[in-house]
Amino acid sequence: MKFGLQYERNDPWQPIAELWDQAVSNPIHSPFCTCLMPMDISPDAVIIEQGLIGYLVQKYQNEGSRIGRALYDRLETSDGDLVGWLRKITNRLSEAERQRLREDVQESLLSMRNESSTSRFACA
């Protein structure tokens, strides 16, 4: 399942869309994986989104910001289309809030990436 790849020129969410697509589309295991997880496990976009949103809700919880409220609402209704939702809520946030949210989501997605690869969200 691919999400977020429909974007327009100069779309500020494009880098996140590309990272999100990598996170939910690539197999979890590399051919050289030696972990004990079954090889046929695929990423689940809803679970990945809920984990990411849950982390961000905790990060923003004490601020009482519009970002925190929007993230909390999304946690209840996540469907795996994170980038589509981010684009929809853009008009509810100030430019500074949008920029902060973009940076936090991008940083979070990059931190999930396997350090031995530039494009894999997977185990070692």
For 61, the token pair is 């919880």
Does some domain include residue 22? no
The pLDDT of residue 11: 87
pLDDT in tens, 62-101: 888 899 999 999 988 888 899 999 999 888 899 999 999 9
Percent of the chain with pLDDT over 70: 73
* CA dist., res. 52 & res. 60, Å (int): 13
More confident residue, 98 or 116: 98
Residue-range definition of the domain harbouring residue 106: 42-111
Provide the domain count of the chain: 1
Does some domain include residue 83? yes
